[in-house]
Amino acid sequence: MLVLARRSNQSIMIGDDIEIVIVDIKGDQVKIGVKAPKNVSVHRAEVYKEIQEENKKAAGTNIKPEDLGKLGDLFKKKT
């Protein structure tokens, strides 16, 4: 792990197009900003872990293709 010291309003670059900016420091809390292309997902670590867990659960479900077709039919009927 690379560890860097930064002050408020200073930044670091990741590659050519991701910038991490130190926005504010108050006590033991640091606010950071992330400037990244829209195609780059940025999540807090705990949120990212939850997303991964939900994706694994969803991948483990046994949904039959014909059930998906029935679901699509329900949406068509409501419009």
The reply to whether 72 falls in a domain is: yes
Counting the structural domains of the chain, the total is 1
Owning domain of residue 46: 11-78
**What is the block-wise mean pLDDT of the chain (79 residues), using blocks of 10 residues?**
96 98 97 97 94 86 76 70
User: If you ran DSSP here, which 8-state letter would residue 28 be given?
Assistant: T
The reply to whether 33 falls in a domain is: yes
The reply to whether 1 falls in a domain is: no
pTM of this prediction?
Answer: 0.65
What is the total residue count of the chain?
79
The reply to whether 15 falls in a domain is: yes
Burial class of residue 67 in the structure, from the number of CB atoms within 10 Å of its CB (0-12 exposed, 13-18 middle, 19+ buried): exposed
The reply to whether 50 falls in a domain is: yes
Give the per-residue pLDDT at 78: 58
The reply to whether 6 falls in a domain is: no
Distance CA 73, CA 79 (A): 10
